[in-house]
A and B are shown apart, each in its own frame.
Chain A
Amino acid sequence: MTIYNLTLAELRTRLDSRELSAVEVTTAYLDRIAATNHEINSFITTCNETAMAEALAADQALAAGDIAPLTGLPIAVKDIFNTTGLPTTCASNILKNYIAPYDATAIARIKAQRAVIVGKLNMDEFAMGSSNENSAFGAVRNPWNFKHVPGGSSGGSAACIAARQAAAALGTDTGGSIRQPASHCGVVGLKPTYGRVSRYGVVAYASSLDQVGPLTRDVRDCALMLQAIAGYDPADSTSVDTPTPDYQASLTGDLKGLRIGLPQEYFIEGLDSDVRKAVAQATATYRELGAEIIEVTLPHTAYAVACYYLIATAEASSNLARYDGVRYGLRAGNAENLIDMYMQSRAAGFGTEVKRRIMLGTYALSSGYYDAYYLKAQKVRTLIRQDFLNAFEKVDTLLAPVAPTPAFALGEKVNDPMQMYLSDIYTIPANLAGTCAMSLPCGFSTEGLPIGLQLIGKPFDEVTMLRTAYAFEQATEWHKRKPEF
């Protein structure tokens, strides 16, 4: 038995039976990270000392019978979550030396269960990117093929699960940043409904779109993680005060009477043939499992990417104004005056893509352009949301590809932002609609790269989405494959 190959659920059983201790599990993972991180570069910070202390505390709790679902389980978190006493860099030079003085709510919740945080994960700077190449700490490599990207922006989160460097990870998804890397790395990734998980303490990229979610090896683990982080938080005004259902209980495998919708706009030209084939095969599997497959339409899909890059960048231009060198973060040393200090600090602190988006967003909000860009985009967003609500009157969940292609090669799209942006074409609409969506493994390309299947659920109906995902996972073996290295 190799400890780091066990799922969260398997580790839980062994910790509860005292077959393994939290210290043994944590040690196994820290060793694994030490042995593999130079190849993957998925971690920005590993926290061996605090992790071992947390593992000891977890073992004491286990001995005392004080056991929560995540007690003693090794979890890594995207470096966008504030974690008390640890660097929280957002993969940016501007926060390179920033130590968070407080915990994000999601972190506080997993800590309350005595999970062990093994490290902070690489990402695209400020969650802006689809390849994890926009990081001040270097690109992350796809564990299935080091020449390929892991996807982004939660590239480190997806890669670390595929590479067995943590049993579960937390990421964030603003336009596909959990699902797309999950798809590219062959793991399960879930973006909850907007408002389901608190954003408090998560460094903001685009506030109306950002949502926290888990990346795991299988659907059961995903449900376990979602259970821990979901729920109303008075510190986040946009979190929704609605009961959190029992997600484990939703994993029945039963699909009787389930109606699955295929949005026709998602199967268009530009969709890679391997991806098309894998998704078609998954559709067939669902049919065999007893689900009814129905074609639906989401007519405003074509406008989603444009709409997203106006709203997300507008919000980002404002959210990132606080990095001004005044109170924390990078401050230019030789500035001549205030304006100069702002300009030099931000010029040195932000990477190219972040600057590009700040400029785009500033432009979209500028006097004289606001109506044509930002306001128009908000109207389109309403139409896109309505598309989903209409579709959900006919079906219980939607089935679609996650990304148009499997993981592309490192460097392939860095000089072509438009191509890069289009790789989020199937994931962005769920963020704009605010609904839940997830990616789960459904096949491999001829090159041997993983392909993900996207399920999009009704708002606040993660239960049905997880049930649908679990049934597929039970009927297939894709999630059991792991990269050889």
Chain B
Amino acid sequence: MNRIARLALALGLMAAGPASAADTIKIGLMAPITGSWASEGQEMKKNVELLAAEQNAKGGINGKQVEVIVEDDGGDPRTASLAAQRLTTKGVAAVIGTYGSAVTEASQAILDEAKIIQIANGSTAVRLTEKGLKLFLRTCPRDDEQGRVGAATLQKMGAKKVALLHDNSAYSKGLADEINALLKGKVQVVFFDALTPKEQDYSTILTKLKAAGPDAVFFTGYYPEAGLLLKQKRQMGWKVPFIGGDAINNPDLVKIAGKEAVEGFQFLSPPVPKDLDTAEARAYLASYKKKWGEEPGSIYGLLAGDGFRVVVKAIEATKSTDPQKVRDYLTNGLKDFPGFTGKISFNQKGDRVGELYRVYKVDKAGSFVLQP
């Protein structure tokens, strides 16, 4: 190839670049690809990328190909605000994500100001949808519902004295406060305090918890800490039942704690991937396994997938990427969309409608068994 031809090719590519970009619909994904929730984030990415590829194979959205733009929020509010800012410059029609409530909160105002639809997949803190942000929705349930189910479970267990342990994060503290308020006057809360996440040794906390003498301990934090707590509780020879919130729903819990230590542990969660029983979800799980070699471990990746699918549905139905039209369709037009995680409808606040939380118990083999 001579020099002129090469130059012409380069110019041609440059000219073709922006033109072809205008023919795609860009969907942003903000996810903790690195950081302590990286396993959730990477599953979110796998789900959304697989769904986008499937959508493109079917001819895209309204004849346009979908392009997924992934930004890493590191599971950290500061990184998240940078990630959100980068997404606003890339012409995305909507942003899926993210997982942690505090992280999502850092991105909300930035995306709202840039008039971009945001659909969070794991941020359950109540206040996220109480601010009147018009373009924010979520596919996960809220912590006030989780709090209700949690308090009811504690009462059903017949606990007279309860200990509440959180990790000071927006989600964890919020859920603990929620349960604390609901238990007031019914069950005595003998312990309410926070641990420091990411540590390895929680024996100090366990020794202190034990001295408070609770009948049951509710830990509202995440699974890495829960696994270590359960393991070290067993090493101490302490037999009190532990319950946890939906951030503990991850199969790695069993690996970290060991089967003996985790047996009998209960947690609240939207149904785990293997309990999704619609034909659509099962077919999707099979294609996920075919593509990535393993089944998804966490429900939050699938909730991100559902977020992607409702956005695609809304853009298809409104034949527009106008954020206001998409939002109006999602809150008013979309009713009982067959999501992987159940039927999806949104209320005017942008919250998902319907009871999603279930109680799970870990059995001898380390499997998560749905409780009736």
A binds B: no
Residues on B facing A (Cβ under 8 Å): none
